[in-house]
Chains A and B, each alone.
Chain A
Amino acid sequence: MNAPFFKFEYFNSDVSLIIAFVIGIAFGIALEKGGFGRATILASQFYFTNMRVLKVMFTAIVTAMLGLYFLSVIGFVDLSLVYLTQTNLLPMAVGGLIAGLGFIIGGYCPGTSMVAVATGKLDAMVFVVGMIFGILVFGEMFPGIENFFNSGFMGTVTLPSFFNLSYGLVVFLVVLMAIGAFTAAEWGEKKMEAKTGREKL
């Protein structure tokens, strides 16, 4: 048995769609249970009153990172077959900034808006319509911004290869950073609670 299963052709792409649906269900449940279906909870991240977004996201990253790392080290997963998005430095930074603005203005990100739609949030439906509009605008503008979109191309770069550190060390540093961030978040939340006298959602 070798993983990733799909890349070793243990099943065809029709079966992969069923798997996609099942994984999607689990993803949706996790997001909903995390409280990510509510814009007020998501937005409170940016007012330091409720750091759930940071906690859930970083815990998920750390869990998946550790899992993938150890499964690769023991030779179960061929990490070189796991898809890595190429890095285009400037477009990604600018895109991130725009997405961040959209996040605080709109209150959702693409994945969470789906959960919010499923749990009956009307603003999330408007958000999704807006997102489709944004993608359409991007698509229409694409011939004009294609050069910028492809600028700053660095290939597929990982943090270890970029900083020339061992993979294991970066894994360790990310764990430390996450735990540092969690400690700060817990402390900050208590402070804010005392200050505003409001309990977090």
Chain B
Amino acid sequence: MKKFWSNLSLNKRLALIAIIFGLVALFAGDPYGGTTIKVNEKDLVLSTVGNADKVLVTDLADWIIKGKSDFELIDLRSEDKYNEYTIPGSQSIPLPQISSSDLLRNQKIVLFSDDDVASSQAWFILKTKKYKGVYILDGGLEAWKEKVLFPKAPVNDSKDDLAEFEKMKEIAKYFGGQAQTDSSAVETKQQIKLPTAPTSTTKTSAPTGKKKKREGC
């Protein structure tokens, strides 16, 4: 074997090495890693228990009004639902496509869907793919409607609560909703028209409208 090797010219040796690597590649498997994921159990559990991965709807509303743009807001529902109504500035990535999206791992990502289930699943998928800043909008779109678009008047009329409610009214107005001063209105919530999807304004004001510089040459 050694003699065989030393008899070969440099070029032939290189060719032989390449062929051996190629042969190994034939049986080594898929480099894209398929659909299996590895999980660091402790990591996941700790971040969930601490509730550190949740964003309150009121906080989100605050961020949007203040024009904060250091986060990507992701709507996980179907595109039909997205077109019907979505939180201003959000980007539509239906849950099945979340793993093939081009979100960056260093971005702050806020996920939401109707409730918490789909966003929890997406959160888990992204976490296993080593995304760092993934957050769930607590309560999803339901909570958004309830607390931001159509906030209810406080039950007891303490001064603090009322002041808070006045603020909420302003916020609701900003997003095209309406505060519910009359407590009976809660029951008729279903009839309240959602603000029409501000698609045109979303497209321009959203951070997603950014043009990414291409990486090729």
Contact = CB atoms under 8 A, between A and B. Distances in A.
Interface of A: 2, 7-9, 59, 62, 66, 68-70, 72-73, 75, 78-80, 83, 85, 110, 166-169, 171-172, 174-176, 178-179, 182, 186
A176 B106 CA distance: 40
A172 B15 contact: no
B18 A175 contact: yes
Chain B, interface size category, equals: 20 to 34
Interface of B: 11, 14-15, 18-19, 21-33, 100, 104-106, 130, 132, 215-217
B130 A2 contact: yes
A78 B30 CA distance: 12
B114 to A, nearest CB: 29
What are the nearest 9 A-B pairs in CB distance? A175-B22, A72-B31, A9-B106, A171-B25, A172-B22, A168-B25, A85-B216, A83-B215, A172-B26
Contacts of B21: 66, 70, 175
Contacts of B25: 66, 69-70, 168, 171-172, 175
Contacts of B105: 7-9
Nearest to A68: B31
Nearest to A85: B216
A66 B22 contact: yes
12 contacts: A2-B130, A70-B24, A70-B28, A72-B31, A72-B33, A73-B28, A73-B29, A79-B31, A168-B25, A168-B29, A171-B26, A172-B23
